[in-house]
Structure 1
Amino acid sequence: MDPRTAAFELIRMVNEYRVSQAICVAATLGIADHIKDGRRSTAELAELTDTHPQALYRLLRALAAVGIFHEGEDGLFSLTPLGGALRFDAEHSAAPWAAFAGRPYYRQAWSDLLYSIKTGKNAFRHVHGKGVWDYRAEHPEESLIFDRAMGANSKNVAAALLASYDFSPFSLIMDVGGGRGSLLAEILAATPGSRGILFDQPHVVATAAQVMAAAEVADRCDIVGGDFLAALPEGADALLLKWILHDWDDETNIAILKNCRRAIRADGWLLVFEGVLAPPNEGASAKFSDLNMLVAPDGQERTAAEYRSLLATAGFEVTDIIAAGPHISIVEARPA
């Protein structure tokens, strides 16, 4: 690549935050849901979303230029296949994540990435004076947006996990820190012989019954509120940890895993669902997720060797690591 092309490419990458924020705004306004049944004018959409017509047009035409919407010669906007994933009611929706990722409080933490790189400390706590979990507990509206995003992401990866792993041998599956239960609901729906326990903080699981009922698995799932740093319900033969360990430092993770070790049956299985770091110069998704862990939750992504070491410290032996998709792997372990 010649130097001028390299400079243009770097500038394009730097400016991608503008595309990201525009997508987040469109998701927050529900634009894709408003035009899913046909073409609409900017004036109609401005009235539906309580926005400034000319400013909204500038947003829509920019997003049309990157393939999310299509602007017709008559000035009407419609959805493209890419934009279809911005519908909240899409089977595999990116809208909940987009609505969350653009929240000002979260962007503010990322804007202080330099602080984290200079100090090795958490930018979110530096900006807001408290950790991300405490912040969301004090701002229930933000917690709901985050939980909705996690639920959608869980549903999006559930198919990949189900295609990569057989959950049917397990009689009782507990999802530790499972949010509102989107992943567990999908697994139970696919394994009619299994029962489930959904375990998370009380305010998180408060509306989980709706998710279970929608998946028609409510009669096979107990919903339990609690703190995984304190204790877990006992007796499950499969414990799931999806995107939990990357949120925390090693010391906290060892405490979580030791609680899992105490709760799991002697012949049980621990299944950790995380993005395992790839070798040098590969796997950008997990490596940028690792920066996100530094900025906000104060955790980190890990290599396969690091997961083996971490789990061994807590009394588990890793038996396999299965790549389930481009963004997630299954770290399978048993009590040592």
Structure 2
Amino acid sequence: MTEPEGPHAASLRLQSLLDGMRVAKVVQVLAELQVADAVADGPCKPAEIAADVGADPDALYRVLRCAASFGVFTEDEDGRFGLTPMAALLRTGTDDSHRDLFMMAAGDLWWRPYGELLETVRTGRPAAELAFGMPFYDYLGTDPAAAGLFDRAMTQVSKGQAKAILGRCSFERYARIADVGGGHGYFLAQVLRSSPRTEGVLLDLPHVVAGAPAVLEKHEVADRVQVVPGSFFDALPTGCDAYLLKAILINWPDADAERILHRVREAIGTDRDARLLVVEPVVPPGDVRDYSKATDIDMLAIIGGRQRTVAEWRRLLRAGGFELVGEPTPGRREVMECRPI
């Protein structure tokens, strides 16, 4: 697609922003129908796909045509639709699948709160509380299907992040790493696979870590991980020389984030050589376009947390008993090394 030009360019660019809403829902629908699986063996006619996935042929064609115009699928001169690299990420059962992420972020779990965003901007209250009648994480506790979708989507996000982070960071100097709020343990498993002499502790809520043994065994690190059911708002396991908070602090406002940091600081105790490793985006200044500024609206409207700039990270960490080692790079997800103070 070319950038609009001429006297109406601003109007056209502004209107084009609405395409984001349309395309996100189109991709979510195609993910729900498992269309990527239906064309995995080669391009097919819409009628063939519709028969396979249980859809109306004409309606499916129009949705696929839209997706193909944005590069999500291909449409050839014979009217057949096939996979692109993006569409391949919507397949089920693949290691790099993004299907559950789209099912979550373009489905009711995200879109219902976004319908209340105006009230959030007026009051500062997370829209999820209005949409679900309670805070987001409390709602997940009442809806096992939504909680399962959220956990799977977060695991899919973690897989992509793990590759990028481990490609530029080494954890081998640590003897025992605690992944606090580490979900099913996928990221910790990748850290341990890259650091054969390191042991791990995985802490998360009981219903979450119930799914950890299968993940840890699949990646052949179960014998090096102690799984601890618990909350990061309570006392944490001691005796680790590194405490990992990956995609945790962004989920909480500053007051709650400080409580989590204080728990880590208590666990570290007098070990001045121990480190806190915070894996989070760093928001760049000014009007630079950055993914973190868009996902911060998820934090505002749904989760109740926030993305942070370098200055905001420094203030928060100091309030929690830590200081940054080095200068993080705005505009990317960083592993911020923090020492106790």
Report the TM-score range of the alignment, normalised by the length of the smaller protein: over 0.9
Match of 1:215 in 2: 219
Structure 1 Cα separation of the partners of residues 57 and 164 of structure 2: 41
Please, which of 179, 184, 187 is the counterpart of residue 180 of structure 1?
Answer: 184
Q: Tell me which of 151, 156, 160 is aligned to 1:156.
A: 160
1:69-93 deviation digits (Å, cap 9, x = unpaired): 1123333221012322222444433
Quick one: which amino acid aligns to residue 171 of structure 1?
A
* Shift of residue 104, structure 1, vs aligned partner: 1.1
- Say if 1:321 and 1:329, in contact at 8 Å, map to a contact too: no
Q: TM-score, normalised by structure 2?
A: 0.93
1:285 pairs, out of 283, 288, 291, with 291
Partner of 2:325: 319
What is the distance in 2 between the residues matched to 1:322 and 1:162? 16
**Deviation at residue 42 of structure 1 after TM alignment:** 2.5
Query: Quick one: distance in 2 between partners of 1:182 and 1:243?
Result: 13
Q: CA deviation at 1:326?
A: 5.2
C-alpha distance in structure 2 between counterparts of 1:33 and 1:185, whole Å:
28
Q: Which runs of 5+ in 2 are unaligned?
A: none
- d(CA) in 1 for partners of 2:333 and 2:289? 11
Distance 1:14 1:140, change over 3 A: same
1:331 equivalent to 2:336? Answer yes
2:303 maps to which of 277, 297, 302: 297
Identity of aligned residues (%): 39
Stretches of structure 1 that go unaligned for 5 or more consecutive residues are: none
SS of equivalent residue, structure 2 residue 87 = helix
Partner of 2:79: 75
Find the aligned partners of 2:217 and 2:52 in 1 and give their Cα distance: 31
CA offsets 1:277-309 (integer angstroms, 9 cap, x no match): 111011431111212111011111111111111
- What residue is the counterpart of 1:24 in the other structure? 28
For 2:38 and 2:209, the matched residues in 1 are separated by 30
Answering whether residue 112 of structure 2 is matched by residue 108 of structure 1, we say yes
Aligned to 1:231: 235
Mapping of 1:134-153 within 5 angstroms?
134-153=138-157
The alpha-carbon distance between structure 1 residues 33 and 213, as it changes in their structure 2 partners (threshold 3 A), is farther
Give the root-mean-square deviation of aligned CA atoms: 1.8
| Residues 231-278 of structure 1: CA deviation (Å, up to 9, x unaligned) | 211111111111111111111111111111112361211111111111
Q: TM-score, normalised by structure 1?
A: 0.94
SS of 2:183 mapped into structure 1: coil
Deviations 1:11-56 (A, max 9, x none): 0012320001111111222221232222233333323322223222
Query: More displaced, 314-323 or 169-178?
Result: 314-323
Letter of the 1:176 partner, please give it.
V
Task: Give, in angstroms, the shift of residue 160 of structure 1.
Answer: 1.5
Go from structure 1 to structure 2 and tell me whether the alpha carbon gap of 1:3 and 1:239 turns closer, same or farther (over 3 Å shift): farther
Which residue of 2 is the match for residue 276 of structure 1? 282
Q: Is the 8 A contact 1:164 1:322 kept in 2?
A: no
